[in-house]
Amino acid sequence: MSQYKKTALVLGAGGFIGSHMVKRLKSEGYWVRGVDLHYPEFSGTHAHEFITGDLRDVDFVKRVLEFKGDQGNFYNSVPYQYITPFHEIYQFAADMGGAGFVFTGENDAEIMHNSCTINLNVLEEQRKLNETFDGVDKGWTEAKRPKLDYQTKIFYSGSACMYPEYNQVDPDDPNCREDSAYPAAPDSEYGWEKLFSERLYLAYNRNHGIPVCIARYHNIFGPEGTWFGGREKAPAAICRKVAYAGDGDAIEVWGDGKQTRSFLFIDECIEATRRLMDSDFIGPVNIGSEEMVTINQLVDTAAKVAGKTIEKNHIDGPLGVRGRNSNNDLIRKELDWDYEMTLEEGIRKTYNWIMGEIAKDVAPTLMDEGCSTQVVA
C-alpha cells in the first residue's frame, strides 16, 4: 500500500457523481474500489476494482466494506489480520432521478425503502467492523486485529430537496440556508428520505463515533450524466431537446417555466466534496451555485449555446417547489470554497458532450415525453 495515498470506497460508483469521484480520487493517488448495480453508463470505470452488487443486501455490504489489500481481491478469502477498513467511504448510492420519477408519487415507497436500507446497512456494518479493531481481546479469531491509527470517514451525499416547501414558494426569493431546514416540511418523500438519512449519519457520529460529513447537493449536472430515458435532470433533458430540435422549433417544458433553480457543474461539485472530506467540518452544508435562473432562461441558455432559436411549449407535468437556490455563505466561511463556472459555460460543455453521444447513435429515437423541470439535486 505504500504507493497509494489512502484507500477509498465509492458506493454508487456507476452513477454520474460517483464515477466522477472515482476519477478524482485515483488522480490524487488513492486506491479506489467502486461499487454499484452497474458500471458507469457512458464511460469505463477508473476504479482499481469495481464490484457489481446490491447494497440493499446486508451480507454484500459487509464484504465490500473490507479492504483486503491492493491486489483487487474482493472475491478471495484472506486471514482476518490482513483485512482493514477503508480510509474513506463516499456514499452516493440512492434510488433517484428527475422530476418525472421523484414527484409523481408513484415511486415513493421504492425510493424510501431502497435508499434508507442502503444507508442503514452501510452505517451499521461499518460500526460492527470498527469494533473489531479496538485492540481488545475478545477471545475469538478477529481479536488479533490491531487497533488502527485511523478511523473510516464517511461522506453522505444529501440533497437540497430536504428543505421545507414553505421556504420555496417565492421563485424570486427562496430560502435554502442550512439553518432553515426546520420545522421540516420537504415537498416529496425523496426529500423526507434525504432528511432522515442526514439525521441517521449524524446519530451514528454522536453515538458510535463514526466520522461523517454531509453535503446538500443542488442540481449537479455535466457530461456523462443520464440524458434520456426518464431519469435525466433538467440541464441534460433540455440540452437533449434542443439538440434534436431544428432552428425555430418548439420544445416542451413542464409548467410555465417561471420556476427557478440553480445548477452546479460536476467538476465544481467534486472539488467542493473533496474539500469537505479533507476538513474537520461535519456539515450539513450546501454545495451548489447561486446563479439562479428560471427554467425558461435555462432553455434560452441551451438554445444560445446551440446557435438556435427555440420556442417553448408549456405543458402540465410534475414541477417540484416553485423556487430553489443554493446559499453558499456557510461553505465560503468553513471551507473557503465557491463556484466559479457560469451556467452558460457548464451548459456548453454538457451540450457538446450530448451532441457527441448523439453522433455515436447511442440514444433511442427521439422521445417527446416533455422537457422536464427535473431538479432533484
Domains of the chain with CATH codes:
94-359 (3.40.50.720)
Q: List the grid coordinates of 13.
A: 460508483
- Paired sense of beta strands 88-91 and 7-11, if any: parallel
Active-site residue numbers?
A: 190
- Paired sense of beta strands 311-315 and 250-254, if any: parallel
Contact indicator for 123, 154 with CB cutoff of 8 Å: yes
Report pLDDT for 140.
Answer: 55
pLDDT at 361 over 60: yes
Mean pLDDT rounded to a whole number for the chain: 89
Residue with cell 461535519: 282
* pLDDT per position as a tens digit, 253-293: 988 999 999 999 999 999 999 999 999 999 999 999 999 99
Amino acid (1-letter code) at residue 211: P
State phi, psi for 353 to the nearest 5 degrees.
Answer: -65, -45
pLDDT confidence bin for 232, thresholds 50/70/90: confident
Q: Tell me how crowded residue 276 is: count the other CB atoms within 10 A of its CB.
A: 21
* SS3 at position 304: helix
Question: Which has more pLDDT, 263 or 84?
Answer: 263
Contact indicator for 349, 222 with CB cutoff of 8 Å: yes
* pLDDT per position as a tens digit, 114-142: 999 999 999 999 999 988 886 666 655 55
Q: What is the rounded average pLDDT of the residues 170-181?
A: 96
What does each C-alpha distance from 255 to 99, 175, 230, 262, 291 come to in angstroms?
12, 21, 17, 17, 21
Instruction: Give residues with Cβ within 8 angstroms of 284, minimum separation 6.
Output: 158, 178, 181, 198, 214, 215, 216
Residue 32, CA atoms < 13 Å, CB-side half-sphere: 24
Contact indicator for 372, 98 with CB cutoff of 8 Å: yes
Residue 331, CA atoms < 13 Å, CB-side half-sphere: 30
- Paired sense of beta strands 250-254 and 49-52, if any: unpaired
